[in-house]
Amino acid sequence: MNAPANNLCIVDDDEAVRRSLGLLLLSRGYAVQTFASGEAFLADADLHRAGCVVLDLRMDGISGLQVLDALRAQDSPMVVIFLSGHGDIPIAIEAVQNGAFDWLEKPCNDERLLETIARALQKAGEIATRRQARKSAQALWAKLTPRETQVARLVAEGKPNKQIALELAPLEQRTVETHRAHVFAKLGLANSHQLDRFLREHGL
């Protein structure tokens, strides 16, 4: 089972709901943590590892929406599925528009719950992959010298060596060629198109 599937949480102040959902998910091979409040979840869960949280909208203490806001404020990779009562459906839909993955109405169908969690964990895995790729890209980018980063950005714009030398004057064209070669070698890229995509994909 992949890493996100090992970070699956249920947050609900109803003990019966926590027990029934926990047993269902455990029976399907998931590693599950349950929390009786949003405060306990935020204090004790691993919020900086990709995973999924099945979160009640209305609870004693802070609400599910406040928990979602806290996760967003921490840039947590946790994917949120809301559990809502019938009267909370408009709020749940708004929550999805504000970043939650999906919502399920109480009492929720077991198969729909399992299917939704499976999709949420797949998204969590994608988030983890993207973040790891960005972290690796940032590490490679940090290996460039300040002058190499200047040259790299201009190369990514498709500018020829002669023009780059003029823009970064006093800099000889041969020196630009050397910096260009170093950039491609350090980043493991072959051409300016790959470099442009590298910068865009990783927000550099």
Q: How far apart are the first and last CA of the chain?
A: 33
Report how far residue 44's alpha carbon sits from residue 140's, in angstroms, rounded to the nearest whole number.
33
Q: What is the pLDDT of residues 157-197, one digit of tens each?
A: 999 999 999 999 888 999 999 999 999 999 999 999 999 99
Averaged pLDDT, 96-104? 85
The structural domains of the chain, ordered by start, are 4-131 (3.40.50.2300), 143-201 (1.10.10.10)
Tokens of residue 101, six digits: 């993955």
Averaged pLDDT, 82-105? 81
Concatenate the DSSP letters of all residues of 131-146 into one string.
HHHHHHHHHHHHTS-H
pLDDT category at 95 given cuts 50, 70, 90 is: confident
Q: Are 103 and 83 in contact (CB under 8 A)?
A: yes
**Average pLDDT value for the chain:** 90
Within a 10 A sphere around the Cβ of 125, how many other Cβ atoms?
A: 18
How large a percentage of the chain has pLDDT more than 90?
66
pLDDT category at 84 given cuts 50, 70, 90 is: confident
Say if residue 124's pLDDT is above 70.
yes
Residue 99 has a pLDDT of: 84
* Integer angstrom CA distances of residue 16 from 19, 20, 29, 77, 90: 5, 6, 20, 28, 25
Averaged pLDDT, 101-129? 90
Tokens of residue 36, six digits: 């009786």
Higher pLDDT, 165 or 87: 165
Report how far residue 33's alpha carbon sits from residue 167's, in angstroms, rounded to the nearest whole number.
57
Q: What is the pLDDT of residues 28-47, one digit of tens each?
A: 988 899 999 999 999 999 99
Question: Which ranges of the chain would DSSP assign to H, the alpha helix?
Answer: 15-27, 38-44, 64-73, 89-97, 110-142, 146-156, 161-167, 173-187, 192-201
